[in-house]
Amino acid sequence: MLPTVIGKLAMMREVLVDDIQQVWEWENDPDMGLYLNADPGKRMSMDEVRRRFQQYRTDPTSGLFIICTLDKLSIGMLGFDRLYRDIGTCRLFIGIGPERYRGRGYGTDGLRLVLRYFFRDMGVHKVQLSVYDFNTRAMASYRKCGFDVESVRRNIAYVNGGWCDSIEMAVTLDRFAELEPVWEAEWAQAGTEGGTLEASGSQRFSPPA
Ligand SMILES: CC(C)(COP(=O)(O)OP(=O)(O)OC[C@H]1O[C@@H](n2cnc3c(N)ncnc32)[C@H](O)[C@@H]1OP(=O)(O)O)[C@@H](O)C(=O)NCCC(=O)NCCS
């Protein structure tokens, strides 16, 4: 089971069965299709969303966090897969659904919280992701979370009349360890200390040890 963690803007919690309809809507949103798959026309069936939900709940190498505001409004998702404890790596994707919640720091805060979970609690030493070169906001957010470019896959997709590249980015445990004190200070200032709720819906609040 994934923890529920609270930052200065975002609360991250495990996906619940009640989220399936919302996840389906995000998966079929043209903007999300563009940013996540370089394909605004990409569609995902409800059966596939349900299949993935089951996988997230049963396969420990993958999972899905729902990104919420501090007053528990669901605004996006952060998924991961290939979490291999023996080699200590995993891959993730992130997407905030409503445009009005993008560019306001929720994704960056949520991503930092989940990075701390991977590095501190899951023994991961490197987290990887891919981003299309036209997605400058996402790349800026990833850099704010410590990610650096590792490689570029050229002309990976044809979108909006031109070829785009896939930028492969990663953040290591060493880099995380440098940045974490700054993030912790921000969470402390916000009064949440990046704390963990024992379970979704619980009112109990316990800051990390
Ligand atoms: C990518 C995403 C997770 C980033 O999270 P976010 O909380 O919106 O990011 P932030 O608000 O912290 O912005 C990060 C930086 O991007 C830059 N930025 C903000 N809005 C921007 C915009 N419209 N265009 C370009 N850069 C922008 C800023 O430099 C900002 O840092 P600053 O606020 O310190 O100046 C979120 O925007 C999102 O989900 N977008 C749609 C889906 C998507 O692109 N997913 C990623 C697929 S790889």
Least confident of 104-113, 148-157, 197-206: 197-206
pLDDT tens-digit series, residues 84-123: 989 999 999 999 999 999 999 999 999 999 999 999 999 9
pLDDT at 196 over 70: yes
Q: Report the atom number in ligand 1 closest to the C-alpha of 110.
A: 7
What residues does 14 pair with on adjacent strands? 65
Write the burial class of residue 22 (CB in 10 Å: 0-12 exposed, 13-18 middle, 19+ buried): middle
Adjacency order of strands within the sheet including 126-132: 148-159, 162-172, 126-132, 89-96, 74-84, 63-69, 10-14, 4-6, 196-197, 205-206
The SS3 of residue 14 is strand
162 Cα to the center of ligand 1, angstroms: 22
* pLDDT, greater one: 71 or 206: 71
Cβ neighbourhood burial of 161 (10 Å; 0-12, 13-18, 19+): exposed
Q: What is the pLDDT of residues 49-83, one digit of tens each?
A: 999 999 999 999 999 999 999 999 999 999 999 99
What's the CATH code, domain 4-206? Answer: 3.40.630.30
Asked if residue 121 lies in contact with residue 159, where contact means CB atoms within 8 angstroms, the answer is: no
Q: Distance from the CA of 9 to the center of ligand 1, in angstroms?
A: 14
Rounded to an integer, the average pLDDT of 35-42 is: 96
Tell the residue nearest (CA) to atom 19 of ligand 1. Answer: 103
Pocket of ligand 1 (CB under 6 A): 35-36, 76, 94-96, 102-108, 131, 135-138, 140-141, 144
- What are the C-alpha distances in Å from 62 to residues 10, 43, 162, 191? 21, 21, 33, 30
What spacing in Å lies between the alpha carbon of 144 and ligand 1's midpoint? 10
> How far apart are the CA of 24 and the centre of ligand 1, in A?
22
Could you state, in order of their start, the residue ranges of all structural domains in the chain? 4-206
